Structure 1
Amino acid sequence: MINLLKEVARGKRGARDLTYDEALEAADSILTLKATPAQIGAFFIAERIKMESVEELEAFVQIVRKYAERSPIQEGLDCAGPYDGRKSSFYATFPAAFLLAAAGVPVTLHGAASLPPKWGIGLHDVIRATGINPDELNAEKAALAAREAGVVYIPTEQWCPPLGKLRQIREELGMRTILNSAEKLIDFTHSPYLAFGVYHNTVFDRLSRLIIKLGYRKALIVQGAEGSEDLFIDRPTRAYVVENGEFHLRIYDPETLGLDTPVPEKEWTPAEQVAVAEAVLRGEADMAFANQVLLNAAARLELAEQVGSLEEGLYTCKALIDNGAALAVYNSWMDALLGAPRPA
């Protein structure tokens, strides 16, 4: 590990990218804790300064996948948002998952207790606020949720224990590391489609080339709300579509679809996230949040090749809200994971 560390930590002019095989060795040393905490921290900081190459990212993804529990319990869309959570935006990806499942596209969500650098409300917190203990969602419960509702939530550190063992180091560093990208690409259920959130448009090219290497059938890389995979509803969103070994820019502009809506300011808590999500599924939410869920669900239906256009996706999703199908999927999911029907 020391020799590999020397290569990435020689300073701005002297540092070099590791080869794929070298990065595999470094990743394995880190995930198995053969490297010391000091070496791991130094490597993460050096990579942060140098910026990870596509080969280094690919190697870390392959190693976290190696030590994770992965099973094709459902093959649909993987939604990969940042594990450091949110502070000021709505988790549209959560209710959108049930819309997609109602339309026949299984969805895999995943996350962990909040991490740096943002330390926001995580999807893990939102799941807990529904009354479900996310830390207890093992493979058996995931298979049950997939069978009953087509929506699975994976607690990443339970399904990939080495990441849990690295949490203290990441918390002490307080900054983004290469794991912030790698953990989002574990692909627990072997999904052919991917919606992936990023903070900065400078990473579009590198991540597109990485996703091609990882073999997804089709992916959407979104510069979304707080670095998430959620398209904005009050302004255009930049995204890259990755398909057939190629990638190109796509702008999603809600104004052209008649959906552009000012977003009200809210003091978000996990409970408030759940309350708004449930209101969307009942057809009773503020227009901004309802429209944001419709737009995101429609874009993902198009991504998963279930509809021929964004407009068709919007029409499909609106019908699934109006006829109660999306809410029924959500209730089935809750019943399956809570072990008893919810009160009427």
Structure 2
Amino acid sequence: MIHLLKEVARGKRGARDLSYDEALSAAELILTGTATPAQTGAFLAAERLKEESLDELQAFVQVCRRYARRERIFPDGLDCASPYDGRRKTFMATFPAAFLLSAAGQPVTLHGCASLPPKRGIVLQDLFTEAGMSMKELTREDFIKAARESGVLYADSEQWCPPLQQIRPLREELDMRTIFNTVEKLVDYGHSSSIVFGIFHGTVFDRLSRLLVQLGYRNALIIQGQEGSEDLHIHRPTRMYSVNDGTASLTTVDPELLGLETAVPEIEWTAELQLRTAEEVLQGGGHMAFYNQTLLNSAVRLQLTGAVDSVEEGVYTCKSLLDSGAAWQTYQAWRHSLLAPAGSGYDTR
């Protein structure tokens, strides 16, 4: 590890990118705990300063996948890769969108863990807790069962990929973004053929598109979404890269052209409010900004997977499923399945 660390930590002029094989070795040493905490911390800080290369990212993803417990549940699934450091200022549209997509026949994989640096915002697991679920009691098998009943799989990354749990204390101590903030979203727990992936800076569009092609995704959207997430904005256009069969192209989705543009109210978000808002949307109601945002994100994702021919068709399809109660029924099936193992008294009506 010392040799590899020296290569990436020689300073602004002397540091170099690791080769793919070198990066594989570094990832193996870190994820098996062979490298000391001091070596791992220094490596992650040096990579942050140098910026991770395509080969380094791919190598770290492959080693994470090697140690992960992955399930082939949905042959044509869509992976919604939300930021593991969560949200602070925006609605988590990807959560209700998952059940809307499933109601439309598109199975979805969600994943995450307890909130991480640098943002330490609200994450999916916080919503689950508000819904009465005990993450400590639920097992992988419980989530797999719920997925088979609802078409929505959730993977707790630290349960499904134990090395990620082992390095959590060090990441919390560093309290900054590291290579794992990107890598952990690409472990692909459901063997999905398509992915939506959020970024904060448009400068990484090209590098991420090449990475997703090399990782074998058939279809991908790299979205410069709200708070660096995969959720498109509803009050203004969103830039994104579309990757289909190895070809990437830059495009913009403008909600105004779809009749969906809506002003977004300023809200002090809590996990309870995120869950309540998502449930209102899934019942065909709630604030129009969040209803429309769920529609837009679901429609764009349906077009990505080929379930519809256009975003416009996707909006029409998704609106019908929201207003008819089909998306709510899908959510209820998922929630009921996960409340049953713990015998929760949470109201499932």
* TM superposition score category, shorter chain reference: over 0.9
Task: Provide Cα deviations, 1:167-212, integer angstroms capped at 9, x if missing partner.
Answer: 1110111110001111000000100010001111111111101000
Q: Which amino acid aligns with 1:238?
A: R
Match of 2:16 in 1: 16
- TM (normalized to structure 2)? 0.97
Which residue of structure 2 lines up, in the alignment, with residue 173 of structure 1?
174
Residue matched to 1:185: 186
* Residue 36 of structure 1: aligned partner: 36
Residue 114 (structure 1) aligns with: 115
Secondary structure, in 3 states, of the residue corresponding to 1:205? helix
Give the Cα separation in 1 of the matches to 2:348 and 2:83: 33
Q: 1:211 to 1:137 in 2, by over 3 A?
A: farther
Amino acid across the alignment from 1:233: I
| Partner Cα separation in structure 1 for residue 238 and residue 298 of structure 2 | 15
- The one-letter amino acid paired with 2:57 is L
Give the conservation status (yes or no) of the 8 Å contact 1:20–1:55: yes
Q: Aligned in 2, Cα 1:135/1:248: closer, same or farther, shift over 3 Å?
A: farther
Partner of 2:102 in structure 1? 101
Task: Quote the Cα distance in structure 2 between the aligned partners of 1:159 and 1:292.
Answer: 30
Equivalent pair of 1:114/1:121 in contact (CA under 8 Å): yes
Matches for 1:200-219 after TM superposition, within 5 Å: 200-219=201-220
Q: Distance in 1 between matches of 2:36 and 2:198?
A: 31
Q: Secondary structure at the match of 1:289?
A: helix
Map 1:1-344 onto structure 2 (within 5 A): 1-75=1-75, 76-339=77-340, 342-344=347-349
Q: Distance in 2 between matches of 1:106 and 1:133?
A: 24
Q: Distance in 2 between matches of 1:132 and 1:204?
A: 36
Contact 1:135 1:158 in 2 (8 A): no
Residue 71 of structure 1: how far off its partner (Å): 1.0
Offset of residue 127 of structure 1: 1.8
Task: Report sequence identity in percent.
Answer: 61
Shift of 1:135: 4.0
SS in 2 for 1:134: coil
Separation in structure 2 between the aligned mates of residue 259 and residue 38 of structure 1, nearest angstrom = 50
Cα 1:299–1:135 change in 2 (3 A) is farther
The answer to whether the 8 Å contact 2:332/2:348 transfers is no
Offset from partner CA, 1:71-95 (integer Å, 9 cap, x none): 1122310000110111000000000
Alpha-carbon distance in structure 2 between the residues aligned to 1:176 and 1:10: 20
C-alpha separation between the residues in 2 aligned to 1:155 and 1:269?
21
How many angstroms does 1:342 deviate by?
A: 4.4
Contact 1:331–1:342 at 8 Å: present in 2 too? no
TM-score under structure 1 length normalisation: 0.98
What amino acid does structure 1 have at the position aligned with 2:100?
A: L
Q: Is the 8 A contact 2:335 2:348 kept in 1?
A: no
Counterpart Cα distance in 2 of 1:315 and 1:301: 11
Helix, strand or coil for the counterpart of 1:307? coil
What are the Cα deviations for residues 213-259 of structure 1, in whole angstroms up to 9, with x where unaligned?
00001000111010100000001111100112121111011011111
Instruction: Say whether the 8 Å CA contact 1:69–1:188 is kept in structure 2.
Output: yes
Give the CA deviation at 1:142.
2.1
Moved more, 129-138 or 241-250: 129-138
Amino acid aligned to 1:39: Q
Going from structure 1 to structure 2, the CA distance change for 1:286 and 1:248 (only over 3 Å counts) comes to same
Contact 2:336 2:348 in 1 (8 A): no
Once superposed, what is the RMSD of the aligned Cα atoms? Answer: 1.1
Structure 1: gaps spanning 5 or more residues: none
How far 1:137 moved relative to its partner? 3.8
Distance (Å, rounded) in 2 between the aligned partners of 1:136 and 1:59: 33
Letter in structure 1 aligned against 2:185: K
> Which SS does the other structure have where 2:56 is aligned?
helix
Mapped partners of 2:196, 2:234: distance in 1: 17
**Aligned length in residues:** 344
